[in-house]
Amino acid sequence: MPKTIAVPGRVNLIGEHIDYHKLAVLPMAIDRKILVRWNPLNERRVRATSTSEESVCDFEWTPHLDPGAPGDWSNYVKAAAQAVSDAWSVSRGVEAEVASDLPAAAGLSSSSALLTAVTLALLEANGIRASFAELMNVLPEGEYFVGTRGGAMDHAAVLAARAGCALLVNFDPVCAEPIPIPPAWRFLVAHSLVMSRKSAGAREAYNRIRASRHVHEVARHVDGEVERVAAAVSALRSDDLPAFGEILFASHSSLRDRLGVSCPELDSIVEIARRAGAPGARLTGAGFGGCAIIVARGDAILDVTAALEHEFYARRTGFDASRRLFEVHASDGALRRLTGPS
């Protein structure tokens, strides 16, 4: 009987392009996930198939692995294997099948969720139960295997988030604090239909921004985003949706004008949401395409959904509402799914 590990995706509510400067961020895990069904092997080999990919990932689990072509999903499987063997003594690989209801290259952390899920499967196959701190020491480094010099926000969120809460993540040392989301607040994800592949075409631009902390416009974004994270936490705690929403709009403007990581499609989604009455919206994730996150209270989210369907998606091909425009709810991270609430 195969074993199963589920790792959620995440949306970053606020705190974009600052986690790799070890500054606090506020993501939440969502109720869409990577699901890995696996069996242990009595050899150091990893075989993985995906329900959404045509290729098969099959390799001998040697101490030093080489990545495949940029953008290949198998690189995240190899990254997990490399990270585990660098940190632990292992002897058994896995045979795994990967399934997902997370859209890929959408800024929802599907790649980090895949890396995390395979890592947890490999550890369990070798009888290792790693702590949050141990995993946070290896997962961000493991992602560098694919060439993206990101931060640790995604891994913290998909591991340690709590249902019904955003997660305030601080670094040095890593500390994750759940911040309850007011029950009437609702969140909508809207895909720009522009793919955002940090492991492929957008990687160089992403890495360049990461290295540009002291460039004037980048510094202005970073300083402003730090203030917006603190203000967003206060707005959540006081159920101040108008203030929270304006913080999202301000973040989007900074990401667009100062970092240049938005695109016309994301800008259009944010503006349509604003006109439809959404208190706040912004791109979420690294940018260069992917998704926007939109917040509204109660059934007002339905008016925003209808406006986006009519004004943005109706004129575009390839629209599948189940994967392009959907409500998300704050979900438990993988560690809480494995161990249960503490």
Query: Which of 159, 149, 158, 264 is CA-nearest to residue 209?
Result: 149
Tell me how far apart the alpha carbons of residues 142 and 76 are, in angstroms, rounded to a whole number.
9
CATH code of residue 28:
3.30.230.10
Task: Name the amino acid, one letter, at 41.
Answer: L
One domain, residues 214 and 71: no
Give per-residue pLDDT as tens, 281-304: 999 998 999 999 999 999 999 999
Residue 51 domain flag: yes
Phi, psi of 7 (to 5 degrees): -125, 125
The residue out of 143, 162, 177 marking a domain boundary is: 177
The percentage of the chain sitting over the pLDDT mark of 70, rounded to a whole number, equals 92
The two structure tokens encoding residue 69: 């072509």
Tell me how far apart the alpha carbons of residues 319 and 321 are, in angstroms, rounded to a whole number.
6
Question: What mean pLDDT is predicted for residues 243-250?
Answer: 98
Residue 7 domain flag: yes
The pTM of the full predicted model, rounded to 2 decimals, is 0.91
CATH code of residue 232:
3.30.70.890
Residue 333 domain flag: no
In the set 101, 154, 299, 320, the catalytic residue is: 154
CB 5 within 8 A of CB 120: yes
Domain of 138 in residue numbering reads as 3-177
CB 192 within 8 A of CB 290: yes
Give per-residue pLDDT as tens, 217-236: 999 999 999 999 999 999 99
One domain, residues 116 and 200: no
Residue 57 domain flag: yes
One domain, residues 11 and 127: yes
One domain, residues 101 and 76: yes
Residue 234 domain flag: yes
> How many domains are there within the chain?
2
| 154 part of the active site | yes
